[in-house]
Amino acid sequence: MSGNNLFVSEGGRASEIGLYNATTGATINDDFITMLNFPRALAVSGNNLFVANFLGNSVGEYNATTGDPINPSLVTGLDNPGGLALFGNKLFVANFLGNTVGEYNATTGAPINPEFITGLNHPKWTRVV
């Protein structure tokens, strides 16, 4: 990837990810990934694009160059995932209705600690800095 790609999730009627030029704003592919279920959050690691499907209660993994699915059901059984963050090979998922942040293996989707942080009030975003 060139580092000049801007991924935009559209969670309304479209429920898709569009791909745009981050310098010019020009459309590269407005139907880059389709048939999602209200994509709420995105995270990129190398050539992998992770998508939180808010109404699908899952996180999918896609090829960030082609949009092809790698594992559209990488993490399932979530409670309206609204935020994603990557730290090494760990994927942190904010569960909006579950009031938690869970920790998962970014390669396999296996839970490491699905209740890593609890007692939150509708967490929406996560970021590791």
Residue 82 lies in a domain: yes
Residue 44 lies in a domain: yes
**What would the pLDDT profile of 73-124 be if each residue is shown by its tens digit?**
999 999 999 999 999 999 999 999 999 999 999 999 999 999 999 999 999 8
pLDDT at 102: 97
Residue 30 lies in a domain: no
**What would the pLDDT profile of 28-44 be if each residue is shown by its tens digit?**
999 999 999 999 999 99
Between CA 68 and CA 62 the distance in angstroms is 6
pLDDT at 12: 73
pLDDT average, residue stretch 52-60: 96
Residue 101 lies in a domain: yes
pLDDT at 1: 46
pLDDT at 128: 77
pLDDT at 2: 53
pLDDT surpasses 90 at 14? no
Instruction: Give which of 64, 120, 63 is closest to 92, Cα–Cα.
Output: 120
Between CA 55 and CA 88 the distance in angstroms is 27
Residue 87 lies in a domain: yes
Residue 21 lies in a domain: no
Q: Residue 73 contacts by C-beta under 8 Å, 6 or more apart in sequence?
A: 58, 60, 109
CATH code for the domain in which residue 57 is found:
2.40.10.480
Q: How many domains does the chain have?
A: 1
Full residue range of the structural domain in which residue 106 is found = 38-117
Residue 7 lies in a domain: no
Residue 84 lies in a domain: yes
Instruction: Give which of 19, 110, 115, 112 is closest to 62, Cα–Cα.
Output: 19
SS3 of 62-111: the string is EECCCCCEEEEEEECCCCCEEEEEEECCEEEEEECCCCEEEEEECCCCCE
Whole-structure pTM value:
0.93
Instruction: Give which of 43, 40, 36 is closest to 92, Cα–Cα.
Output: 43
pLDDT surpasses 70 at 15? yes
pLDDT at 129: 64
pLDDT surpasses 80 at 13? no
SS3 of 22-37: the string is CCCCCEEEEEEECCCC
